């Protein structure tokens, strides 16, 4: 549980007390890879590594502002966790008082999807209000943690959050990249940075055609897990508090063909029937909890979010253990739902997330290191690039409903030609606990992309980008700033 008592996220569904043997061989043995010539396949202004929420925002913003940009993604689709991880809720766009704080790229993406009937969000007239219809809709869907908070009077109020269709979401990102002129290279797994002293000059990429090199004036790490941060000689931290939201994997899946009307009716009229079914599922080793799908026309689809504690989210042994055991647990839970829960008789698993959900990993310690204390500051920084609604800290959120983020949290201390625009931004475990979600990473991406474009145009280091110019580009892109 979070120490803030709001308890909005972090409850592990699946026990994970297994000690994994991580390195097979115990002896300290190394292998020196022989040096060899690698073909340079691109030399561009900006290379963005990772096509998740941070990466797409970074690449599209850089390209829109004139930088020749390549976006590299290891899988065959864009969106990262927001699409491939099936964590398709974009929460906390506004605060408990009904004010919207996240606009820009994130809002544009939601609006574009809404225009395609592929996103829905809390009714604007209900933001920050104890609107009974809206609040009940989300509570009934088991979505309190994304859509409903308590106000000062202790009433349930709706906050501005959205849900997107991940499949149309992938397509829309492809379209946005193409429109902006981003060169997209999928199936390209970045293995390492190319360094010249303390300057990042490019990246090495593993592809089905072998290893390739791409050179760039600015490289942006949007891998989520900080894959480039790992190999760059700069200060880093991996601290996660055991039991916290970021100290967990997620294994999400969708069950379809659920008779929600039947389930709902019994839940209201004969709650003891649902309680008995839930008890049996739990006793037999499954978990009965699920959320209703909130997308229009997806009646009968429910969303299941399995959370598994872990402090080692990039180790293949741990990931293998979690992927296999979480899958077994998910399927078992599904089979028990089908067996006991009214409404699930004809259901089936429609999809398990193609990507295992990772929430925490390596983070850079940059020019500014955000900590718990920054959440209680009510004044913006002189280089503020985003304002986040602070909704998840209970009473503290009522006192401090917004949190500012400085550009320096994306800039490394002692490395040139490099920015971080993803979960690996410069923050401790407490700050990351609340502010590394999809909308936040999109804000980091938009700022990093704009800064990279300015740096390239002016021929200056990214750390020297004038804030006034950065702010102007961000405002032009719809960002909400002080």
Ligand X SMILES: Cc1cc2nc3c(=O)[nH]c(=O)nc-3n(C[C@H](O)[C@H](O)[C@H](O)COP(=O)(O)OP(=O)(O)OC[C@H]3O[C@@H](n4cnc5c(N)ncnc54)[C@H](O)[C@@H]3O)c2cc1C
Residues that bind ligand X (CB under 6 A): 49-55, 72-75, 80-82, 85, 87, 89-91, 189-190, 222-224, 227, 250, 252, 305, 357-359, 422-423, 436-439, 441
Buried-state track 378-413, b at ≥16 Cβ within 10 A, e below 16:
eeebebbbbbbbbbbbbebbbeebbbbbbbbbbbbe
Least spacing, CB of residue 79 vs ligand X, in Å: 7
How do beta strands 119-121 and 162-164 pair? antiparallel
CB nearest ligand X: which residue? 250
Residue length of the chain: 482
CB 86 within 8 A of CB 166: yes
Least spacing, CB of residue 389 vs ligand X, in Å: 12
Q: Among 400, 397, 403, which Cα is nearest to 380's?
A: 403
In terms of CB distance, is 2 or 359 closer to ligand X?
A: 359
Least spacing, CB of residue 159 vs ligand X, in Å: 13
Least spacing, CB of residue 170 vs ligand X, in Å: 10
Least spacing, CB of residue 446 vs ligand X, in Å: 12
In terms of CB distance, is 48 or 126 closer to ligand X?
A: 48
Q: Chain centroid to CA 366: how far?
A: 20
In terms of CB distance, is 190 or 229 closer to ligand X?
A: 190
In terms of CB distance, is 49 or 473 closer to ligand X?
A: 49
Least spacing, CB of residue 292 vs ligand X, in Å: 14
In terms of CB distance, is 158 or 252 closer to ligand X?
A: 252
H-type alpha helices, 132-287? 132-140, 144-147, 166-180, 227-231, 260-269, 271-283
In terms of CB distance, is 188 or 340 closer to ligand X?
A: 188
Least spacing, CB of residue 343 vs ligand X, in Å: 24
For residue 88, how many other CB atoms are within 10 A of its CB? 25
Q: Is 3 helix (H, G, I), strand (E, B) or coil?
A: coil
In the chain, the largest separation of any two C-alpha atoms, in whole Å, equals: 71
What tokens were used for 310? 């872990």
In terms of CB distance, is 227 or 392 closer to ligand X?
A: 227
């Amino acid at each position: 549980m979070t120490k803030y008592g709001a308890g909005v996220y972090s409850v592990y569904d699946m026990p994970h007390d297994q000690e994994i043997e991580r390195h097979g061989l115990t002896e300290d043995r190394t292998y020196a890879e022989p040096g060899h010539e690698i073909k340079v396949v691109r030399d561009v202004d900006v290379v963005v590594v990772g096509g998740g929420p941070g990466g797409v925002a970074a690449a599209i913003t850089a390209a829109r502002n004139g930088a020749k940009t390549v976006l590299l993604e290891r899988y065959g689709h864009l969106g990262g966790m927001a699409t491939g991880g099936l964590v398709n809720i974009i929460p906390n766009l506004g605060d408990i008082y009904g004010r919207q704080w996240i606009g820009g790229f994130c809002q544009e993406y939601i609006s574009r999807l809404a225009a395609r009937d592929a996103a829905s969000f809390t009714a604007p007239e209900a933001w920050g209000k104890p609107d009974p219809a809206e609040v009940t809709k989300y509570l009934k869907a088991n979505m309190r943690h994304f859509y409903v908070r308590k106000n000062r009077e202790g009433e349930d109020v709706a906050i501005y959050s959205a849900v997107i269709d991940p499949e149309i979401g992938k397509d829309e990102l492809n379209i946005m990249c193409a429109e902006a002129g981003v060169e997209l290279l999928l199936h390209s797994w970045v293995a390492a940075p190319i360094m010249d002293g303390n300057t990042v000059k490019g990246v090495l990429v593993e592809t089905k055609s072998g290893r390739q090199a791409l050179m760039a004036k600015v490289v942006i790490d949007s891998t989520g897990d900080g894959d480039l941060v790992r190999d760059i000689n700069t200060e880093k931290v991996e601290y996660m508090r055991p039991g916290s939201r970021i100290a967990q994997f997620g294994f999400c899946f969708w069950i379809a063909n659920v008779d929600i009307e039947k389930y709902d009716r019994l839940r209201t009229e004969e709650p003891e029937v649902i309680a008995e079914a839930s008890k049996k599922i739990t006793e037999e080793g499954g978990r009965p909890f699920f959320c209703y799908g909130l997308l229009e026309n997806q009646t009968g689809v429910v969303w299941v979010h399995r959370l598994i504690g872990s402090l080692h989210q990039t180790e293949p042994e741990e990931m293998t253990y979690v992927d296999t055991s979480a899958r077994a647990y998910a399927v078992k839970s599904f089979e028990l739902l089908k067996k006991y829960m009214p409404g699930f008789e004809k259901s089936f698993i429609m999809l398990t997330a193609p990507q295992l959900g990772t929430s925490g990993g390596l983070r850079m310690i940059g020019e500014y290191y955000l900590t718990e204390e920054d959440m209680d500051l009510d004044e913006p920084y002189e280089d503020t690039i985003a304002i986040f609604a602070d909704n998840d800290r209970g009473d503290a959120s009522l006192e401090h409903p917004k949190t500012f983020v400085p550009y320096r949290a994306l800039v490394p201390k002692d490395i040139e030609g490099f920015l971080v625009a993803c979960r690996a931004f410069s923050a401790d475990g407490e700050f990351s606990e609340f502010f590394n979600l999809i909308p936040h990473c999109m804000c980091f991406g938009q700022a990093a992309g704009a800064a990279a474009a300015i740096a390239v145009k002016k021929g200056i280091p990214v750390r020297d980008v004038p804030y006034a110019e950065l702010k102007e580009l961000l405002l032009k892109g719809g960002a909400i700033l002080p």
